[in-house]
Amino acid sequence: QVQLVQSGAEVKKPGSSVKVSCKASGGTFSSYAISWVRQAPGQGLEWMGRIIPILGIANYAQKFQGRVTITADKSTSTAYMELSSLRSEDTAVYYCARQYGDPAPFDYWGQGTLVTVSS
Amino acid sequence: EIVLTQSPGTLSLSPGERATLSCRASQSVSSSYLAWYQQKPGQAPRLLIYGASSRATGIPDRFSGSGSGTDFTLTISRLEPEDFAVYYCQQYGSSPHVTFGQGTKVEIK
């Protein structure tokens, strides 16, 4: 059974950066893609980008290009999402999700990490 | 970018009733790579339907998906109390770039 376990909630100042982790268990980490999706309070789902660990290649939504970096550590089966130059509008729950295959839907999700940006 | 528009925004129904949710794409969705997710408050989304009409593992058969091209539908044949939630459609055919609809809330009437 695949499980994605994310790091805990964060409170950050405007202009700083945050790095959220997503540790996978079950399945073969390198053989699937991990996407990051965020959800602002009371809002819908927004795809930010993804990585295929076996290739080490990341793709980003245009909106976040230059501000988000997605990486993966195959040795620990952990994916990371770092978002820089934080502003209040980045306050959201950030989810990681697995795609098994390409193209593929998101079949497993992490529990979500609340990032609050406040001065 | 493919834009997905869901309707209605909110659906007010009673348990036992049939729910019909719509998702319209701004351009044709490649090979029906369209998924539906259910999200309850404080929880991560859960995959219900993929490939427009295939149920994900463990999803009850009261959930069904249909459609192709630009018009897709999620139908819940008889609403159970646990089905009241927000539903999102997603296209994943323009991989790696995926997009979500804005969601439809199914609430108890």
Q: What is the pLDDT of residues A55-86, one digit of tens each?
A: 889 999 999 999 999 999 999 999 999 999 99
Which residues fall within 8 angstroms of residue B16, CB to CB, at 6 or more apart? Answer: B78, B79
Nearest-Cα distance to chain B for A57, in Å, is: 11
Per-residue pLDDT, averaged over A40-63, amounts to 95
Q: Which of residues 16-55 of A touch B (CB under 8 A)?
A: 33, 35, 37, 44-47, 49-50
Residues in chain B with CB shorter than 8 Å from the CB of A61 are 97
CB atoms within 10 A of CB A24: 24
Beta-carbon separation of A106 and B99 below 8 A: no
pLDDT-based confidence at B66, cuts 50/70/90? very high
Q: Which of A61, A105, A110 sits opposite B92 (nearest CB)?
A: A105
The span from the CA of A52 to the CA of A116, in Å, is 28
Tokens, residue A98 = 């697995």
Q: Is residue B34 scored above 90 in pLDDT? A: yes
pLDDT-based confidence at A29, cuts 50/70/90? confident
Q: Which residues are paired to A38 by β-bridges? A: A46, A94
Q: Which of B45, B47, B93 sits opposite A45 (nearest CB)?
A: B45
Beta-carbon separation of B88 and A44 below 8 A: yes
